[in-house]
Structure 1
Amino acid sequence: MLDQRAEGNFSSVTGFVLLGFSDLPNIQGFLFGIFFLIYTFIMIGNGLIVIITRIESALQTPMYFFLANFSSLEICYVSVTVPRILVNLWTQDRSISLLGCATQMCFFLILGATECFLLAVMAYDRYVAICNPLQYPLVMNQKTCVQLAVGSWISGIPVQIGQTFQVFSLPFCGSNQIKHFFCDIPPLINLACGDTSLNEICVYLVDILFAMIPCLLILCSYIRIISTILKLPSTTSQFKAFSTCSSHLIVVLLFFGPGTITYLRPKSHHSSGTDKMFSLFYIFVTPLFNPIIYSLRNKDVIAALKKLISKKT
């Protein structure tokens, strides 16, 4: 995988090896089974949410429109990384081409940025619904919802393409073994030769733009939401308002917590073990729990699911 053509003192890497879980040789089959089941549940669960929010008339509201977008995003998000993980575990062939690695990382970063923006948009939707209920139909009209959704999907594309190009412009020498189960920025920067401080600064700046700013917007929205809820006259009204926000807030914590820790730590503090552990959260845990959280805590979604099942049976 290393082309020995001299470029200064560096070798030109033509491919990588994703070590993944190679340090656990005795449980490769077990890991394949677990990850395959989780991937199947993610696809079915999020797919059901997309279907019922499209066909059930009671769910034709902005909140469920954004939820359908979020579930569609989760399907795309896991499909960028998990199938490759399953192939590596099944075949034990962990090689990946330079182009394949760059493509995987680029789509992973773009979809990650989309998730950050979409979670912020969903928080704004809840803010308008609770803090300005009379203006809600006017503010969150169909045109605005579509524009917010499209903006969330495409906003990160140019920046993340640029960041991917910058990472893969680094000189790689020596080992081409990535101590991770997919192509991500921290393990690739660890493989690079020379000074990577500029790349680390760019990672921090992009994180501030695509993670910290949406996170602050979500925080501000919930400060206003909680303040408004506490002013409601009855406990029943307060509970109902909290229940419409709690599911989204849980998903926000599951996604932003591990992701922020992974990308904002300096290079010297990165280790393959901790990187893989935190990555498992935003690759598997959030997409898996998203449909569970939104269905079990939402009477409208449960009613729509029962209606769909009764029609099929």
Structure 2
Amino acid sequence: MQSAEVEDLHLRCADAKAKAATAQEQVAPLVARVKELEEELARVASDHDAFRSWAGEAMTSIKALVGQLGTEQGVHQLTKGALDEALKVAEASRTEAMVCRGKAEELEGEASKAAEASRVEVQRLKEKAKASQVEAQCWREKAEASRVEARRWEEKAKELETEVIRAAETSVAVQAVLETEIGEHDALKSATRTTCEALEVEGFQSGSSLGSRLIALSGQARERLRGALHTGVKRALAVIASHYISVDLKAISDGYVLPDDDREADEEVVKLMEAAEGLGTALAKLFKEEVVPPTPSADAGGPEP
């Protein structure tokens, strides 16, 4: 679109130049005609001055002849004839001068009209050339604005291209993170399924979701921990009863026998736990196989499809 506007501007400028050249060609004959009229007017004025000079000389001659009229009668008649002839010539010269003057005035009017027409045409061409210059300046400003707008869109396109590249790189990174998350999720599903199968979690189905499996596993683990706690306490009471036949198991089931002061009670509990640490570990080993489930093998199951 910009190239079309610039091409249109070039065509208009060429058209204006052609019209200016045509106007100059039209004005040239008018200028030549005005020059011819001025030359003819100068020639007529020169002839008029010559006639006036000749008439002055004739009048001088007549006056000289009139001076000699009193002395010479024959000369008087001759002078009278010459005077009549001079008067006729003067009248003819005056008439011709008036004709030349009228013709000169007519030529001067034509020259004035031609000059005025030339001036008007030149003024019109100047105004048209000025308008063409203004229009060309307007088109140049539009072209410059179009170039600025094009540069702005090019910069915006480069920014968008940079954003697209950055988004593509981010997408690749997100895809890698997503694939890692999917792998970890699959591994977690496999580990959860293996753990559920090893612990024989009730309500577990092969097609159940990971969330439902974890909830079932959590409940089962709580039940197993509660069962292990009960089994351990019962086995410990049974061991005590086997060593001391007259022991009061009911009193033992009420818990520690501690001082009333809370601080002293806590210190006493710590001492009892430290004393029972190693012996308790040895006793727990006797009931490990009964309470703790066996460790699942490494290839017990892979990730579900």
TM-score by length of 2: 0.19
Q: If you compute each CA radius of gyration, which structure gives the higher value, 1 or 2?
A: 2
Higher strand content, 1 or 2: 1
Task: Name the structure, 1 or 2, with higher relative contact order (CA <8 Å, separation 6+).
Answer: 1
TM-score by length of 1: 0.19
